[in-house]
Amino acid sequence: MARPPLLIPRPEGLYCPGGDFFIDPARPVARALITHGHSDHARPGHGAVMATRETLDIMAIRYGEDFTRSRQIADGAITIGGVTVSFHPAGHILGSAQIAVTGGGCRIVVSGDYARVPTPTCARFEPVPCDIFVTEATFALPVFRHPPPETEIARLLASVAAFPDRSHLIGAYALGKAQRLIAALRQAGWDAPIYIHGALHQLCDYHVAQGINLGDLRPATEGKKADFAGTIVIAPPSAFATAWAQRFPDPVIGFASGWMQVRARARQRGVELPLILSDHVDWPALTATITELDPAEVWITHGREDALMRWCEMTQRAARPLHLVGHEDDAE
């Protein structure tokens, strides 16, 4: 009798028949293995959740302690039914992990979202040899070649120096990107207080509790309007359209995202200072990762599948798009 496939795509997400679990399911299931805490991968309502300790903590912060009936910390190789699973750093955000599923002489690595640019805010991506590599394709177009973070931080600090009477209001998503930006500013020598929106406080506090140095962070509600001249303020992009943003003096509006390489997106958002700062692999890092791992087959979960499929074809690599639903290309 033929063995069932190790992983199969289903409407809920990637399903493992041998272990009876889903990876990053898009709807509530009995047992879920979660790669990281972003809401397009980690959802509440599952019967049981296995993830890294940090991801479980982040899910509890975002969804409440009752986000699942049962939680298990992924630690080392774990046997579930007839398969073995292990979690390996993905370099995306704090707690992010690739999930390796091994059974029947085959290993599939589900990368979730991942990045190859090091940051103090999470463990570096760990290449895991595999037969099948399941990859995102968020920036899978040859045009996406992100500059070093140091270059973008230098542009931000140069703008702060050039406009000492204005505040710099930088949009960054609350989980991962905001902390990556803050840590990069500290690495660049910016020791002054950084003011943050209330939506960032709890997650920043959690990063600090994990030993990540974010320096002097203060609520962006402290002080009068004139007090924010020459300061850096970080907030989720949604805050820009509220009355909250009006408390800052003639702010330079910035946005930290890999999508800021697309100038039309920056113009649409009214961004004066686009900062190309990503927590995903760009095209060179994506293709280099696949070349390094050299799997027998590549599966593509979401993003620009066509270009990556074409690249795999040109480099004589077997590949297939999974067309998984529920993963957001913009949510970084």
Q: DSSP E strands: which ranges in 90-167?
A: 97-103, 106-110, 132-137
Cα separation, 259 vs 45, whole angstroms: 31
Residue 326 falls inside a structural domain: no
Amino acid at 51: A
Q: What is the pLDDT of residue 324?
A: 78
Domain match, 269 and 197 both: yes
Are residue 20 and residue 166 in the same domain, yes or no?
A: no
Q: Cβ atoms within 10 A of the Cβ of 12, count?
A: 17
Same domain for 101 and 182? no
CA distance 303 to 144: 13
Residue 128: inside a domain: yes
Q: Any idea what DSSP says for residue 238?
A: G
Pair 243, 203 in one domain: yes
Whether 223 and 264 share a structural domain: yes
In a domain, 330, yes or no: no
Q: Print the domain residue range for 271.
A: 149-275
The total number of structural domains in the chain stands at 2
Same domain membership, residue 89 and residue 64 = yes
Tokens for 324?
Answer: 């998984």
Give the C-alpha distances (Å, rounded to integers) separating 137 from 39, 70, 112, 213.
Answer: 18, 32, 10, 31
Answer yes or no: is 104 within a domain.
Answer: yes
Residue 166 in any domain: the answer is: yes
Does residue 178 belong to any structural domain of this protein?
A: yes
CATH code for the domain in which residue 160 is found: 3.40.50.12650
Contacts 24+ apart (CB under 8 A), 242-248: 244/197, 244/220, 245/169, 247/220, 247/221, 248/167, 248/169
pLDDT tens over the chain, length 332 residues: 456 799 999 999 999 999 999 999 999 999 999 999 999 999 999 999 999 999 999 999 999 999 999 999 999 999 999 999 999 999 999 999 999 999 999 999 999 999 999 999 999 999 999 999 999 999 999 999 999 999 999 999 999 999 999 999 999 999 999 999 999 999 999 999 999 999 999 999 999 999 999 999 999 988 899 999 999 999 999 998 888 988 898 999 999 999 999 988 888 888 999 999 999 999 999 999 999 999 999 999 888 899 999 999 999 999 999 987 655 555 54
Mark whether 294 and 271 lie in a shared domain.
no
* Cα of 233 vs its chain's centroid, Å: 21
| Same-domain status, 81 and 17 | yes
| 2 is a domain residue | no
User: What pTM was computed for the model?
Assistant: 0.94
Same domain, 65 and 98: yes
CATH code, domain with 55? 3.60.15.10
- Residues 121, 201 within the same domain: no
Q: Please check whether residues 246 and 286 belong to one and the same domain.
A: no
Any domain includes 327: no
> What secondary structure letter does DSSP report for 113?
S
Contact between 234 and 151 under an 8 Å Cβ cutoff? The reply is no
> How large is the greatest C-alpha to C-alpha distance in the chain, in angstroms?
75
| Residue 48 to residue 259: CA distance in whole angstroms | 34
Residue 119 CB partners (closer than 8 Å, separation 6+) = 91, 149, 180, 183, 184, 279
Per-residue confidence (pLDDT) for residue 128, from 0 to 100? 98
In 3D, which of 161, 178, 288, 176 has the Cα closest to residue 229?
Answer: 161
Same domain, 42 and 13: yes
